[in-house]
Amino acid sequence: MWALWWVWMAAALILGTLEVLVPGFIFLGFAIGAAVIGLMLLVGGPLTVLIAGSVAWMLVVFAAISVIAWILLRWLVGVRTGQVRIVERDINED
């Protein structure tokens, strides 16, 4: 079941939907990792032979791609330097 491309694409869709419900770029990295694994299994190629043979290698590649995607997302869309919100007035003090 782990070597079926559509299982990984379904997982990517579920994780992407979960990211919309719980924002914060937590699940989006995992969704990108699952989508990349699904595309690799669909298209084929030399790396696909490595990951399709073992569930352990497939999960290692999935984890590595997910971490790289998460780091890139935080770098591209995350809080920039100097974008710290400073609260000067408390709304409960009136």
* pLDDT tens digits for range 33-81: 999 999 988 888 777 777 777 888 889 989 999 999 999 988 887 766 6
- Whether residue 89 lies inside any domain: the answer is no
Q: Number of helices (H) and strands (E) in the chain: give both, helices first.
A: 4, 0
Q: Which residues constitute the domain of residue 56?
A: 5-77
Question: Looking at the predicted structure, is the pLDDT value of residue 83 above 70?
Answer: no
Residue 88: inside a domain, yes or no?
A: no
CA distance 81 to 9: 35
Which residues have CB under 8 Å from 9's CB, separation 6+?
34, 35, 38, 42
Contact 7, 1 (CB under 8 A): yes
Q: Is 28 exposed, middle or buried (0-12, 13-18, 19+ CB in 10 A)?
A: buried
Q: Is residue 33 part of a domain?
A: yes
* Amino acid occupying residue 92: N
Domains identified in the chain, total number: 1
In a domain, 31, yes or no: yes
Threshold 0.95, pTM exceeds: no
